[in-house]
């Protein structure tokens, strides 16, 4: 396959769609199975347009492992490889994944599977910034976190001992970058589907 940015690579983080273990904040407005279905829908939506865009090679990083039938179906349907997430917490897993990608890519991007606001132009913009002057690029989220990060070097300081799931992760990441002399820039603000009102917002756009 010919990619627009062959020197870059993209990691997609995804949990196995086990009812009761994914999108739990959609419950009880939805059943456990419905919440799992939402998770699969959002993942397929992202992988579908990424596959068609052919921007760069894609790897689906799976939790707890790659054996779930949903992951196997994704690998069969889309042009991507599967890898198992490794690490003791989210920061460890992200840092490990980015370091792995940077062994064979000049720019490594990592994205979650539940942000419907991310578009092809956002991924392209991130890669192009990393190709120019930026060491790290964030796609911040409305809730204070971020939905995508790109790096051109391995920066463990941005991921270690970070309290994830709070409303200032993006700000703390920027501060760590400034203190470490890392050139960081941010894309436009995005949102993801966490709770039922987010789901209604998503449905209104479709």
Mind listing the pLDDT tens digit for each residue in 23-39?
A: 999 999 999 999 999 99
Instruction: Please tell me the predicted confidence (pLDDT) of residue 206.
Output: 75
The mean per-residue pLDDT over the stretch 142-154 comes to: 97
For residue range 109-139, what is the model confidence (pLDDT) as tens digits? 999 999 999 999 999 999 999 999 999 999 9
Report the share of the chain in percent with pLDDT over 70.
Answer: 100
CATH 3.90.550.10 for the 8-205 domain, yes or no: yes
Band of residue 166 on the pLDDT scale cut at 50, 70, 90: confident
Q: Name the pTM for this structure.
A: 0.97
Cβ within 8 Å of residue 139, ≥6 positions away? 111, 115, 118, 122, 126, 146, 147, 148, 149, 186, 187, 188, 190
Instruction: Please tell me the predicted confidence (pLDDT) of residue 39.
Output: 98
Cα separations in angstroms, 107 against 11, 16, 46, 62: 11, 27, 20, 21
Band of residue 1 on the pLDDT scale cut at 50, 70, 90: confident
Instruction: Please tell me the predicted confidence (pLDDT) of residue 25.
Output: 97
């Amino acid at each position: 396959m010919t990619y627009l940015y062959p020197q870059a690579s993209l990691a997609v983080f995804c949990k196995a769609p086990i009812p009761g273990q994914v999108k739990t904040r959609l419950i009880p407005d939805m059943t456990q199975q419905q919440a799992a279905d939402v998770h699969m829908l959002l993942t397929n939506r992202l992988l579908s347009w990424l596959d068609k865009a052919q921007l760069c090679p894609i790897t689906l990083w799976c939790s707890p492992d790659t054996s779930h039938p949903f992951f196997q179906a994704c690998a069969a349907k889309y042009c991507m490889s599967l890898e198992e997430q490794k690490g003791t917490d989210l920061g460890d897993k992200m840092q490990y994944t980015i370091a792995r990608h940077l062994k064979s890519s000049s720019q490594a991007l990592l994205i979650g599977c539940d942000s419907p606001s991310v578009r092809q132009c956002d991924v392209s913009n991130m890669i192009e910034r990393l190709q120019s002057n930026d060491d790290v690029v964030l796609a911040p989220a409305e809730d204070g976190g971020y939905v995508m990060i790109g790096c051109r070097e391995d920066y463990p300081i941005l991921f270690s001992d970070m309290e994830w799931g709070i409303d200032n992760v993006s700000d703390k990441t920027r501060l760590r970058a400034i203190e470490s002399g890392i050139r960081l820039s941010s894309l436009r603000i995005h949102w993801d589907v966490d709770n039922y009102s987010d789901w209604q917002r998503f449905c209104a756009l479709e």
